[in-house]
Structures are given as C-alpha cells and as structure tokens.
C-alpha cells in the first residue's frame, strides 16, 4: 500500500477517468502512468479508478487506503469502496463509509441494501430500505430478492403487491424466488400472468421446473419459448440440456445439440458441461467423451462433468484417469470432482486409490470440507477401513446429517456398535436432529453387535417421541435385533402387530434369524409367508434349502431345488474377490481357473495342516451337498472366500491387512477357519459379506462370533475361547466409550 502513497500523494489529473481500470492493475503501470500524466492539477474523481484497480487485483483491502489520497471523494468512489468492503464481508466498514457520505444517490443506496443482503443482514437492509427517500424499482426488486433468499416468501409477495411500478426485472425476481423456494406451481401461475416475458423469464421457468423434478414440463416450456420467437441464450440451453439429461430425453437433447452447434454456443463451458452430462445420463459415454475432446476450453466444470459421467456409466477406471489427467493439466478439482472420484474409488473397492484422492484433497485444503469428508467417510467404510473413516469424521470441522449417518451406518456394518451409540449421543448433544437413516444405522448396529436392550429402547423411543415414520426397513432391522438375540417369538409378534402391511423384507429377516437359532417350524412358516407375497424370492428358497441341508433333510432339499428349477429361479453362486494393485481377482468355490491356482492350492494345503495343528475340526453341516464326509471336508476347504484369502496371502506384503469381498453370507465354517488363519499368519483379514464386515484378528472376529453363539444355543460342546469371544462383543469401542451419560436413558 505504501507504493500507492508514494506514487499518488500529489496526484492531480482527470485523465485517469478515461483509462481502462485494468491499466491500473499493477504498481508498475501505476508508476508509468504517474510519470507520464499525473504531474499537476486535481479532480475529485481521481481516486475512483485506483479503487477499481484494487478490486481488479483482488485486493479490496487496498480500497481502505484510497480515501486518504483525496479530500473529497465523490459518490462513485464511495460506492466502489462499499462494494469492496462487502465483497470481503466487512459490512460494518461498508456501513460506516455509507454513513460518512455527504451525498448519496439511488445507486449507492441500492448497493448498500444489496451489500447487507449479501452479508446476511436482512434487518439492516429493511431499515435502509425504509430510510431511503424514494426507493426505486431496483430497490424494491433487491428487497424482494432478499426476502426470497431468506425463505420469506410471504413477505416477498407482500412487497411485490405494494410496488408502485413493476418492471420485468421485478416479475423475474418473483419467478426466480418461487423456483428457488420450491414453490414451482406458484411460479408457473405467475409466469402465465406476466405482461411480457423475456429470455430471463423463460430461462428461470425452464431451470425452475427442471430443478423441482418437472424436467418433462421444462422441455415443453422450452419448446413454447422457441415457438414464441425468443432466442435462447447459453444459460437457457444449459437449463434445457439439464432437463433433457434428467428426463433422459435423447432425441430432444440431440436437437438442442444441433442448435448449440449452429449458434456457436459450444464455446460456453456450461453448455459443454451440460452436453457431457446429457450424453452420460443417456448412457452415450463415448459421445460425452467426444464433446469433451472437442471442447475448446476445459475447466473444472467440464472435467467434473466427464468424471461424473464416467462414474454413472460404471467406467470407474476411466473416471479416475480423468481425475488424474485433471490434476496433471493443472485444472484444480473442486468438491464435486473429489466427490465423484471418491465414489469411483468406492465402486472399485480400492482403498489405495481412495487414499491417493484423499491426499490430493488434503493438498488442495479440501480434506476437511464437509462434502468431500462425507464421501471420504463412505469410501473408507465401504473399503473396510472403519478406523480411517472415524479419523476423517473427527477431523471434519463442519458436519451435517449425512456425515453423522454415514459414520453411524459404517460403524454398524463393521460391528462397532458402541461407537455408533456414542456417536448418536454426541449427535443429540450437538442438537443435530436424527432422521430415518440414523435410526436404520442404530438398529443395525444393535443387531450386528447383539445389543438387545438398546435396540428395544431405541425403537420405542423413536416410534413414540419423534415424528420419524417407521418404515419396513426399520421393522426388518428390529426383527433382526430380536431374532439374532434369540427372541424369535417377540420378533414374530412384532411383525404380526406392525401397522404397515407386511412385506417379504421383514419375514426374510425373521427367516435368517430362525436359521441361526435352528427353529425349523418358524422358518417354514416365515418362508411360506414370503413365498405367498413374493413367489419368486430366491433368497427364501436358498435359506430354507440350506436349513434343510444342515438338518440332513436331503429329501426336502431336493424337493425345494425341483420347485426352484420349475419356477426358473437360479441360485446365485457364491463369489469372492480381492483387489490387488487395482486389479480385481474373482474366485468361485473350487475354482482352478486362476493363473496362480497351483500356488493358491499349495497355500491352502499348508493352511489346512496348520489349522489341524491348532485343533480345527471342519463343521461339515456347512457343506450343503449330500456327499461323503471326506468330500464334504474338501468342498468346504475350497470355498471361494478361502481361495481369495490364500491368493491374497501369497501376493501381498507380510503383515498388511487383507480385504476380501463376498456376494453372499460367509459360511460358518469359513468364519471359524479364517479366524484361525488370521492368527496363524498374524495379519488382519477383513471379509465383507452380504450383510456386514468381519474383521478377523488374533483368532477373534469383530462380529462377536454369532456362529459360536449358534453352537452354544444348540447345546453343543463349546470351547472356552468361543465363550470368551461371545462375551468380548464390542470391547473394541473402548476409545470412544468414555462419555456415556445420555445412554443412562436408553439402558432402561
């Protein structure tokens, strides 16, 4: 700033008025100009371009220095300084300047009112409006816009009615305000009443309808606009293309693309980005890539559109490549780019790629942004790294309901029930209103961690004390909580007395609990209900058939298999996969197709020997085929999850964590074997099956060993270790477990 003081102390020239303000963009230019022109004479407007210069340089602070250099700043200079203060959020300084002004014109008043609204101070804006000698139509419109921004629709309507003269801008402000406040029907009514419509009115209407889920109607309005002879601008085309993308209206979009091409609007980044999104949504990703390649100018909006398009077309590898290309070409990603690329990492189940994206987010100081943070929590949870998800959660400065829900549901899936409860209590203490997803997460953590009493209390509390409507998912979760803890009759009563019409989801929850507790009568009853409601439910057939197989009722098994065949129901084969260095390796039971098959089977035989040394006896009830004992043992040993574990053991660094994914539930015998394998190789093995994550370490699983629980309930011999495991449920949550006051209420 001192440079300005040196250059301009005796500034005396009115020529500055005619210079473009960008000339004043650097101190060097200032020097040159001052040397050549600013020799003598003065004029009151001389400060004004200097103010502009500071603003152009993104240095509104500099505007503070400017008033010192002239004694009588004019209204224009003052107005510019007010704009500068408002842009940096210094409303008090702006108001001080405004009050110091000897004379004010309408532009200055309107600038100050808008400044108050931009800084979130509606009350002061209203006071200024009341004090204003003669509010112009612009002042009225600014206030209307302000009321809509603060969600005060009724007051905006009242102002609009009171307006002495209404110009098109005022009508457009009303239209835009209605659309922004989800009052699209009122917007349509107003649009029809308007004395005339310009391109802004049409664009607001098209965009408003599209954003409020009425994309088809938006396209009808666009057609009407075209017929009425109004020429669309790039914003109109962007809105119309977005409507085509949402309504999946491919032919319409193609026509708009033709118009874009003819009118030359393909140079606009927003039009280009909308075209990419449109083609991607219509599953024409190649065409989207072509639009991207042909774009003259590529910025973050266009790159993110392509990145998101790849994600929605299941081309996650390409999406991540587009993300790294973006970084390479110095296009700085924004929140949306990070959210899309993290979603791709999530779909690829690749925690390593996710960590790379996380590192980039930290470098660009977006690591603690709430939207990026939410995606990080989801990514880490889905890739099996619940501890990392919790660390990200803790570091987030701002958290919204999505953050809380994502973390609670993640803890539930990983069997960290106590963490989920503690998070819920923190959420309540922080006055964050829980929603239906929070309840689903909490109930599933109760079910995965065997917390019967808490589950009951939560269900009662939410149904009696909150306005959250209980859904089938909530009932299914509650049935699961009761069922897993052996309260099968109570679970059946809950289903029979539920106010909603029962569906197959709730009965399936009961059926799988029956299997766990070997209650064949109830299982058959539940299966009958399911098959009445949904005759082709393969899950019910498979569960019941497995049930019969483990009870050695092979006649019933073949009867069920015949029925399945007659009805054309196909049992999904069990598949496990592991991602190593970005490549997914898939295994089926007894699979020998992998190039490293020989090494995998050698490793499995070695593990078999080690397991026998530890006293492991295969539980043949989990081999669901009517074959000889030895064959049963063999088929058990080559289940897909074990092949994946063996493969991961021979291809990864010693001591690193192994993450296996499985499409069905892990079988009980594999569960026992992998626990011991984790102990033998001294590594953490994470298995995500169709219901949850199992973290195996030191011979223990984080799920609290429901398979052991099952043996215990069957009154079969149970080892001391198994009993200890049952009792050790959730001691892993000790870190987050210190403060527990609110739970006094739920403990009953």
Q: Which stretch binds Zn ion (CB under 5 A): 149-157, 268-276, 602-610, 693-701?
A: 693-701
Alpha carbons 687 and 665: distance in angstroms, whole number: 10
711 binds Zn ion, rule: CB under 5 A: no
Measured in residues, the chain has a length of 748
439 binds Zn ion, rule: CB under 5 A: no
Q: Which stretch binds Zn ion (CB under 5 A): 9-17, 183-191, 381-389, 696-704?
A: 696-704
Of 190, 482, 527, 701, the one binding Zn ion (CB under 5 A) is: 701
User: Shortest approach of Zn ion to residue 575 CB, angstroms?
Assistant: 12
The first and second tokens of residue 319, run together, are 């999406």
Q: Which is nearer to Zn ion, 237 or 687 (CB)?
A: 687
377 binds Zn ion, rule: CB under 5 A: no
Are the beta carbons of 40 and 13 closer than 8 angstroms?
yes
Are the beta carbons of 667 and 639 closer than 8 angstroms?
yes
User: Shortest approach of Zn ion to residue 182 CB, angstroms?
Assistant: 45
Q: Which stretch binds Zn ion (CB under 5 A): 263-271, 463-471, 486-494, 667-675?
A: 667-675
Largest Cα–Cα distance of the chain, in whole Å? 110
517 binds Zn ion, rule: CB under 5 A: no
Q: Which stretch binds Zn ion (CB under 5 A): 114-122, 269-277, 432-440, 702-710?
A: 702-710
Q: Which stretch binds Zn ion (CB under 5 A): 235-243, 439-447, 538-546, 670-678?
A: 670-678
Q: How many residues bind Zn ion (CB under 5 A)?
A: 6
DSSP string computed for 105-120: -HHHHHHHHHHHHHTT
Task: Single out the residue of 668, 649, 669 nearest to residue 658, CA to CA.
Answer: 649
User: Shortest approach of Zn ion to residue 710 CB, angstroms?
Assistant: 12
Q: How far is CA 731 from the centre of its chain?
A: 30
User: Shortest approach of Zn ion to residue 667 CB, angstroms?
Assistant: 3
Q: Which stretch binds Zn ion (CB under 5 A): 5-13, 458-466, 471-479, 687-695?
A: 687-695
Alpha carbons 201 and 194: distance in angstroms, whole number: 9
User: Shortest approach of Zn ion to residue 574 CB, angstroms?
Assistant: 8
List the interface residues with Zn ion, window 558-617 (CB under 5 A). Answer: none
Q: Which stretch binds Zn ion (CB under 5 A): 347-355, 361-369, 637-645, 647-655?
A: 637-645
694 binds Zn ion, rule: CB under 5 A: yes
Q: Which is nearer to Zn ion, 369 or 730 (CB)?
A: 730
- Give the angle 76-78-83 at the CA atoms, nearest 5°: 95
Q: For 717, which DSSP code?
A: -
Q: Which stretch binds Zn ion (CB under 5 A): 82-90, 275-283, 295-303, 634-642?
A: 634-642
Residue with tokens 């058939």: 545
679 binds Zn ion, rule: CB under 5 A: no
Q: Which stretch binds Zn ion (CB under 5 A): 321-329, 497-505, 561-569, 662-670?
A: 662-670
Are the beta carbons of 77 and 48 closer than 8 angstroms?
yes
User: Shortest approach of Zn ion to residue 555 CB, angstroms?
Assistant: 24
User: Shortest approach of Zn ion to residue 645 CB, angstroms?
Assistant: 11
Of 505, 664, 670, 677, the one binding Zn ion (CB under 5 A) is: 670
Q: Which is nearer to Zn ion, 30 or 688 (CB)?
A: 688
The first and second tokens of residue 405, run together, are 């829900």
User: Shortest approach of Zn ion to residue 505 CB, angstroms?
Assistant: 23
Alpha carbons 256 and 96: distance in angstroms, whole number: 50
Q: Which is nearer to Zn ion, 531 or 670 (CB)?
A: 670
DSSP reduced 3-state for 57: coil
Q: Which is nearer to Zn ion, 16 or 576 (CB)?
A: 576
Q: Which is nearer to Zn ion, 184 or 703 (CB)?
A: 703
Are the beta carbons of 248 and 281 closer than 8 angstroms?
yes
User: Shortest approach of Zn ion to residue 671 CB, angstroms?
Assistant: 5
Q: Which is nearer to Zn ion, 563 or 690 (CB)?
A: 690
Of 209, 446, 511, 703, the one binding Zn ion (CB under 5 A) is: 703
DSSP string computed for 378-427: HHHHHTT-HHHHHHHHHH-SS--HHHHHHHHHHHHHTT-HHHHHHHHHHH
Of 667, 708, 709, 736, the one binding Zn ion (CB under 5 A) is: 667
User: Shortest approach of Zn ion to residue 514 CB, angstroms?
Assistant: 20
Q: Which is nearer to Zn ion, 271 or 700 (CB)?
A: 700
Q: Which is nearer to Zn ion, 170 or 412 (CB)?
A: 412
User: Shortest approach of Zn ion to residue 494 CB, angstroms?
Assistant: 26
Residues 6+ apart with CB under 8 A from 380: 351, 354, 386, 388, 389, 392, 410
Alpha carbons 339 and 323: distance in angstroms, whole number: 11
Q: Which is nearer to Zn ion, 249 or 635 (CB)?
A: 635
Q: Which residues of 641-665 are buried (b: 16+ CB within 10 A; e: fewer)?
A: bbbbbbbbbeeeeeeeebbbbbebb
DSSP string computed for 165-231: S--HHHHHHHHHHHHHTT-HHHHHHHHHH-S---HHHHHHHHHHHHHTT-HHHHHHHHHHHHHTTPP
188 binds Zn ion, rule: CB under 5 A: no
Alpha carbons 396 and 378: distance in angstroms, whole number: 14
644 binds Zn ion, rule: CB under 5 A: no
User: Shortest approach of Zn ion to residue 717 CB, angstroms?
Assistant: 20
Are the beta carbons of 129 and 135 closer than 8 angstroms?
yes
Residue with tokens 């859904």: 471
639 binds Zn ion, rule: CB under 5 A: yes
Q: Which is nearer to Zn ion, 515 or 694 (CB)?
A: 694
Element (H, E) at 575: strand 575-580
Element (H, E) at 669: helix 668-681
Angle between helices 122-131 and 106-118 (to 10 degrees): 160
Q: Which is nearer to Zn ion, 54 or 484 (CB)?
A: 484
User: Shortest approach of Zn ion to residue 688 CB, angstroms?
Assistant: 11
Alpha carbons 200 and 169: distance in angstroms, whole number: 9
Q: Which stretch binds Zn ion (CB under 5 A): 21-29, 288-296, 439-447, 694-702?
A: 694-702
Q: Which stretch binds Zn ion (CB under 5 A): 34-42, 120-128, 470-478, 639-647?
A: 639-647
Are the beta carbons of 145 and 126 closer than 8 angstroms?
no
383 binds Zn ion, rule: CB under 5 A: no
Edge to edge, what strands does the sheet with 575-580 contain?
Answer: 583-588, 575-580, 658-662, 685-688, 693-697, 700-701
Q: Which is nearer to Zn ion, 603 or 694 (CB)?
A: 694
676 binds Zn ion, rule: CB under 5 A: no
Give residues in contact with Zn ion (CB under 5 A). 639, 667, 670, 694, 701, 703
């Amino acid at each position: 700033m001192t440079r300005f003081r040196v250059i301009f102390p005796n500034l005396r020239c009115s020529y500055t008025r005619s210079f473009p303000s960008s000339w004043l963009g650097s101190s060097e230019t200032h020097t040159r100009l001052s040397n050549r022109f600013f020799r003598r004479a003065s004029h009151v407007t001389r400060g004004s371009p200097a103010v502009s210069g500071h603003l152009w340089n993104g240095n509104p602070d500099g505007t503070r220095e400017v008033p010192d250099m002239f004694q009588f700043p004019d209204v224009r200079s003052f107005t510019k300084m007010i704009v500068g203060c408002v842009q940096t959020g210094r409303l008090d300084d702006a108001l001080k300047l405004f009050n110091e002004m000897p004379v004010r014109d309408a532009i200055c008043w309107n600038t100050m009112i808008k400044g108050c609204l931009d800084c979130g101070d509606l009350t002061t804006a209203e006071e200024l409006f009341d004090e204003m000698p003669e509010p112009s139509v612009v002042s009225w419109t600014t206030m209307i816009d302000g009321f809509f921004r603060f969600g005060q629709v009724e007051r905006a309507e009242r102002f609009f009615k009171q307006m002495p003269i209404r110009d098109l801008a005022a009508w457009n402000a009303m239209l835009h305000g209605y659309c922004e406040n989800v009052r699209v029907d009122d917007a349509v009514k107003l649009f029809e009443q308007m004395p005339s419509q310009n391109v802004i009115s049409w664009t607001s209407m098209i965009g408003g309808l599209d954003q409020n889920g009425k994309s088809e109607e938006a396209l009808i309005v666009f057609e009407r606009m075209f017929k009425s002879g109004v020429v669309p601008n790039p914003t109109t085309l962007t809105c119309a293309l977005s409507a085509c993308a949402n309504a999946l209206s491919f032919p319409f979009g193609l026509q708009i693309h033709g118009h874009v091409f003819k009118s030359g609007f393909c140079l606009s980044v927003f039009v280009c980005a909308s075209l990419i999104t449109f083609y991607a949504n219509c599953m024409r990703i190649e065409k989207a890539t072509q639009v991207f390649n042909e774009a003259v100018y590529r910025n973050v909006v266009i790159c993110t559109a392509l990145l998101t398009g790849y994600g929605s077309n299941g081309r996650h590898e390409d999406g991540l490549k587009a993300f790294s290309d973006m970084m390479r070409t110095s296009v700085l990603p924004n929140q949306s780019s990070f959210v899309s690329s993290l979603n791709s990492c999530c779909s690829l189940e690749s925690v390593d790629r996710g960590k790379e994206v996380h590192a980039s987010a930290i470098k660009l100081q977006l690591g603690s942004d709430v939207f990026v943070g939410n995606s990080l929590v989801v990514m880490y949870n889905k890739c099996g790294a619940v501890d990392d998800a919790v660390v990200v959660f803790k570091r987030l400065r701002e958290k919204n309901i999505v953050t809380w829900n994502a973390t609670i549901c993640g803890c539930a899936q990983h069997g960290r029930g106590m963490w989920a409860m503690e998070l819920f209590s923190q959420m309540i203490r922080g006055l964050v209103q829980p929603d239906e997803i929070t309840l689903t997460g909490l109930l599933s953590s109760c079910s995965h961690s065997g917390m019967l009493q808490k589950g009951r209390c939560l269900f009662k509390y939410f149904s009696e004390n909150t306005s959250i409507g209980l859904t089938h998912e909530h009932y299914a979760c509650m049935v699961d909580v009761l069922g897993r803890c052996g309260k099968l009759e109570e679970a059946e009563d809950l289903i029979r007395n539920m106010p909603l019409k029962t569906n197959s989801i709730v009965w399936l929850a009961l059926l799988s609990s029956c299997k766990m507790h070997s209650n064949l009568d109830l299982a058959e009853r539940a299966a009958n209900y399911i098959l009445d409601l949904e005759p082709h439910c393969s899950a019910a057939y498979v569960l019941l058939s497995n049930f019969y197989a483990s009870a050695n009722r092979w006649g019933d098994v073949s009867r069920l298999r015949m029925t399945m065949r007659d009805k054309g129901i196909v049992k999904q084969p069990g598949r496990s996969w592991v991602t190593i260095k970005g490549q997914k390796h898939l295994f089926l039971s007894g699979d020998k197709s992998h190039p490293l098959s020989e090494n995998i089977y050698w490793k499995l035989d070695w593990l078999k020997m080690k397991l026998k040394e530890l006293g492991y006896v295969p539980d043949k009830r989990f081999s669901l085929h009517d074959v000889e004992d030895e064959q049963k043992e063999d088929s058990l040993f080559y289940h897909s999850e074990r092949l994946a574990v063996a493969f991961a053991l021979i291809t990864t660094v010693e001591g690193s964590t192994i993450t296996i994914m499985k499409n069905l539930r892990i079988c009980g015998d594999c569960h026992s074997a992998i626990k011991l394998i984790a102990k033998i190789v001294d590594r953490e093995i994470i298995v995500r099956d169709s219901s949850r994550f199992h973290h195996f370490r030191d011979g223990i699983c984080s799920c609290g060993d429901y398979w052991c629980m099952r043996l215990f309930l069957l009154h079969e011999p149970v080892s001391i270790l198994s009993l200890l495991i049952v009792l050790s449920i959730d001691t892993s949550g000790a870190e987050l477990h210190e403060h527990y006051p609110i739970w006094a209420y739920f403990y009953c």
